[in-house]
Structure 1
Amino acid sequence: MLTIAGSTLASAQQQTPAERPHHVQLTADDIAAFTDARLAALKTALKLTPAQEKNWPAVEQALRDNGKARIARRDARRAAGPETDPIARLSSHADGLTARADALRRLAEAEKPLYQSLDDAQKRRFVVAMRFAEGRHHMAEQRMHREGAPDRG
């Protein structure tokens, strides 16, 4: 048993970062499929009434827009390469924070009518389901930021 564990560890240490499963690059189709799945899960978890359904399209669109903006920021960071000037990096980071703050305001505005129409059970599910709907890739971006690759907008 120890031999198997040791050989697995040695094998994992020999892999380059690109070969490791957690470094898989998602295609646009992959991202679209996961976005659709997360939105469907959120809507299913909420069990919306017909009256509440009228507020859903704005929430869905805001979540999709935020996802597209996040992908655009990621692609722009990759295309720009590492920023070596600390002042430019700080300014770029501030621009990114402003853009994300604006996107979060639009999301809050879209979610407010829906959330206000939910009963207590739906509100509990909303909190949990929104974490899922936002996607795990967002946590990866936060980890990259902590490790020194700031989100520059």
Structure 2
Amino acid sequence: MRKFAIAGIAALAIAGTTAVYAQHRWFHDHMAHMRMSPEDRAAMADAKIAAVHAGLKLNADQEKLWPPVESAVRDLVKIRIDRAKAREAAAAAAKADDQQKPDPVTRLRTRADNMAASAAALKKIADAADPLYKTLDDGQKRRLAMLTHRGHHGGEGWRERFQHGRFGGDRDHDRDRGQDPERL
């Protein structure tokens, strides 16, 4: 009787695990068809930039400092969207030509180039945002943190949003975690 009970519990555990895996797999496959287009990414970036701008409720003097910040943010968004387009085009070409994936050294160089471009764009944002940030009151700083999720999840604000695709961003970090690098 005891062996029968153990076998039954083991069968239930295996069946439950299989059901959860199947559900996860269905969700992943279903969501893969819902990737954002470049136009969707640009529209989402526009909306999020507008939300940050509106949420800050800048005064007239601060408003004069906003255009360089927005321009720098848009430059980074463009870099990330262009990078996503290039990855998608390369993936489509690789499927059509049945090409091999690039070797590890080529991937490393590409990643380094991407990181250098992102670093330069992030520095440009920091340089543009510094004068504005120095004029923000505590309420505006708190709203900025909330709008960019800096304080919410322990992230790094603008960079975190871009990196995780929440500003039309890029998922370079997923390559290191074994996830699909072609996904944005």
State the TM-score, normalizing by the size of structure 2: 0.64
How many residues were matched structurally? 144
27, 30, 50: which one pairs with 1:19?
30
Deviation of 1:100 (Å): 0.8
User: Structure 1's 149 and 9: CA in aligned 2 closer, same or farther, altered over 3 A?
Assistant: closer
> For the residues of structure 2 that align with 1:100 and 1:149, how far apart are their CA atoms?
20
What does the per-residue CA deviation read over 1:45-92, in whole Å, with 9 as the maximum and x for residues that have no partner?
Answer: 111111100011111111111111101112222333474311111111
Correspondence 1:101 to 2:119: yes
Number of the residue aligned with 1:78: 88
User: Structure 1's 65 and 150: CA in aligned 2 closer, same or farther, altered over 3 A?
Assistant: same
> For the residues of structure 2 that align with 1:85 and 1:14, how far apart are their CA atoms?
28
RMSD: 3.0
Deviation of 1:19 (Å): 2.4
Number of the residue aligned with 1:147: 178
Gaps of 5+ in 1: 1-5
128, 135, 138: which one pairs with 1:120?
138
Number of the residue aligned with 1:61: 71
State the TM-score, normalizing by the size of structure 1: 0.75
> For the residues of structure 1 that align with 2:64 and 2:101, how far apart are their CA atoms?
45
Between 138-147 and 69-78, the greater mean CA deviation after superposition: 138-147
Q: Whose RCO is larger (CA < 8 A, sep 6+)?
A: 1
> For the residues of structure 2 that align with 1:62 and 1:37, how far apart are their CA atoms?
16
Gaps of 5+ in 2: 1-15, 92-99, 150-156
Deviation of 1:14 (Å): 6.6
3-state SS of paired residue (1:52): helix
Name the aligned partner's letter for residue 55 of structure 2.
A
Number of the residue aligned with 1:45: 55
User: Structure 1's 140 and 17: CA in aligned 2 closer, same or farther, altered over 3 A?
Assistant: farther
Give me the identity figure in percent. 38
112, 129, 132: which one pairs with 1:111?
129
3-state SS of paired residue (2:171): helix
Between 138-147 and 92-101, the greater mean CA deviation after superposition: 138-147
> For the residues of structure 1 that align with 2:21 and 2:101, how far apart are their CA atoms?
34
Q: Which has the higher helix share?
A: 1
> For the residues of structure 2 that align with 1:149 and 1:15, how far apart are their CA atoms?
17
Name the aligned partner's letter for residue 122 of structure 1.
Q
